Amino acid sequence: MDLNNILSQLGLGGSKDIVYLSVTPGIGLELIQLDIPSRTIKNYSYRPLEYNESLREIADMDEFKRAVEDLFSELKINPKSNVVLNLPMVLFGSKELPLLLADDAVTEALTSEVEQSYIFKRYEPVVSWCDATASQTGDSRKLFYSAIQKNVIDDIKNVLTELGVNLTGVEVSLTSILKALAFTGLAEDQMKDNVSWNMMLINQNGYSICSMIGKNIVEYYEEPLAIKSFEGDEIYNAINASAQITLMSYPANYLYIISTTDMVSAELLSKRINVDGIINFYDNNDFKKDNPLPVSLDVLEDTSHKISLEAIGIAVGSAAGMPVKFNFMTTSSETGIDDPDEPFHVELGSHEFDISPNAARNISLLVSILLVAPVFAVYTIVPMIGKQKQAQLDEINSKLEQTNNEIKRIQEEQNKLNDFDANAEIKKVLGDNRSKLMAYTALGESVPKKLWITYFVAQGDGKFDIKGDCENVEDIYTFFKNMKDSLINTKLRLHKLEMKTNSVDEAVTIDPNMPTDYEFEITNMTDAEVNALAQAAAQATANNGTQNGAQPAKK
């Protein structure tokens, strides 16, 4: 069984499912779920949703709400879910600040920088930032930051809350696309350590160039370009003329062109643009030929053609291992720190899965219960069982003493007759009594509350026959399993299990609301041995009845 299924059945996957949404211009609202270990798309659909490119926000929140409801209904997803959302990037930049500046001061400085943008002169920003590299040298450090309108996040969160959905994370399209390239292997050669490359993103407002070394962002440049104003090949000529000059400032081994607008083919542009290095491309639009990941048969073919890199990237989570990550739902002073409510990726041997902090707490609680349960049993249940076992042990010890006396007597006779192997007889008697002792002990430990033993035979050769009554079948199977676990290698079997009735009519008219007695027999004897034992018991009963019955009349 898959580890994810095991966690789900145990209720350890968190109290809510994790669903990934992406607001993708040109497509709409996408809902996607990945199978991380197999790297396949197991669930996907989309709904058209208008996005205002000028204001960088969803045009109609009511339409967004209907789209979410439709997607959850179509894919049969529990509305009480956790959602991680991808939004189109509004603003991205870099800045160098003193190394000793506190996180709160860094956020304040970056917020002041962001507020210079025309969008954030009208709307309050939410800023997320992270260090450019893992280590910093000198007296300053370079930071990358991104910002989204606070009112946009608040509106989205309110809509989802009305639907019972919990918004746990928000990322931007730039980092989602980078994660998708890493996870799918589309940029495997480019993302190797110390390899320099440029990612060129084309959208309907222009293009941006993200200069990279491996998986690390080095520089970012954005060039507005009125692509809609061009016709035919004029678009490619305009992009080529502008980008050639820009790319001269960012020399690299590779250029990776990605087009997110249906107005530009990345493949065609890769043949027109003239730069040094190897050129690769991916059409993240209607020019796309194949999906970067295998798609489940549950996803319609026409629908699967719409799957974007942004949707794949947001669903990857932390599995791609990208160092640059933004999340606009955190309350940390350094907004680049992971959201405490966001699921994180775990690798356990050959298994990979996402787990939320909620689930981690549940697992910790379960482990604590498992650790405490034996201690609780030792101090409560064990003393109660101990008293019962002590009485049985005293009885067995008494019988054992009698047996020892018998052994002593036989040994004395052996010494006299010198034709009897006392040691062999001792071993046999001890073995027989040991088997019986184990049987008595196992019987005492295994009897449930509403189960009664009516007959028990333990023979010296390790043969057992147990009969009894019980009000339910579950307790009978529990008792049977416990006896098998206690008496190892005895090959116990459930020989008989039937309702306890006096006639067929009584069995048919049993009231289902009244408890029903069941008879059972557990043994490791063969059918012939069981029958012989039953016949012997019946004969003994008959003989006893004759002795206690009427005497023949005297003459």
pLDDT given for residue 138 in this prediction = 72
pLDDT digits (tens, 9 = 90+) for 179-196: 999 999 999 999 999 999
pLDDT at position 1, please? Answer: 42
Contact 499/518 with Cβ under 8 angstroms? yes
What would the CATH number be for the domain defined by 191-285? Answer: 3.30.420.40
Q: What angle, 0 to 180 degrees and rounded to 10, lies between the N-to-C axes of helices 473-486 and 422-446? A: 150
Q: Look up residue 121 and give its two tokens.
A: 């002169």
How many Cβ atoms sit within 10 Å of the Cβ of residue 471? 16
Please tell me the least confidently modeled range out of 80-84, 105-109, 304-308, 425-429. 425-429
The β-bridge relationship of strands 351-355 and 344-348 is antiparallel
- CA distance linking residue 441 with residue 359, whole number of Å: 41
Is it the case that residue 335 has pLDDT exceeding 50? no
Cα 78 from chain centroid (whole Å)? 16
For residue 535 the two structure tokens come to 């016949």
Among positive and negative, which fits the CA dihedral 256, 257, 260, 265? Answer: negative
Q: What is the pLDDT of residue 2?
A: 46
For every residue of 523-540, DSSP letters joined together read ESS-HHHHHHHHHHHHHH
Mean pLDDT, the chain, as a whole number? 82
CA distance 516 to 524: 27
pLDDT at residue 340 tops 60: no
What does the pLDDT look like over 111-146, one tens digit per residue?
Answer: 999 999 888 988 999 999 988 875 566 788 889 999
Q: Is the pLDDT of residue 151 over 60?
A: yes
The model's pLDDT over 18-60, given as tens digits with 9 standing for 90+, comes to: 899 999 999 999 999 999 999 999 999 999 999 998 889 999 9
Backbone φ and ψ for 10, nearest 5 degrees, come out as -80, -5
Separation in Å, CA 95 to CA 3, 219, 333: 43, 10, 17
Distance of CA 524 to the CA centre of its chain: 43
Looking at residue 430, its pLDDT comes to 61
Is pLDDT of 365 > 80? no
Contact in structure between 173 and 86 (CB atoms under 8 Å): yes
Summarize pLDDT for 222-233 with one digit per residue, the tens.
Answer: 988 888 888 888
Q: Distance between CA 530 and CA 533 in Å, rounded?
A: 5
> Residues of the chain with pLDDT > 90: what percent?
36
**What sign results for the dihedral spanned by CA atoms 23, 27, 33, 37?**
negative
* CA distance readout (Å), 108 to 80, 97, 139, 330: 35, 12, 19, 16
Per residue in 321-332, pLDDT (tens digit) is: 888 888 887 533
What value does the mean pLDDT take over residues 365-369?
A: 70
Instruction: Quote the distance between the C-alpha of residue 55 and its chain's center.
Output: 39
Per-residue model confidence (pLDDT) at position 341: 45
Quick one: pLDDT at residue 31?
95
Q: Specify the pLDDT at position 125.
A: 94
Q: Are 18 and 343 in contact (CB under 8 A)?
A: yes
Residue 472 predicted with pLDDT over 90: no
**For residue 152, how many C-alpha atoms fall within 13 Å in the half-sphere facing its CB?**
28
Mean pLDDT on 96-110: 89
Please give the pLDDT value at position 8. Answer: 46
Q: Which amino acid is at 504?
A: V
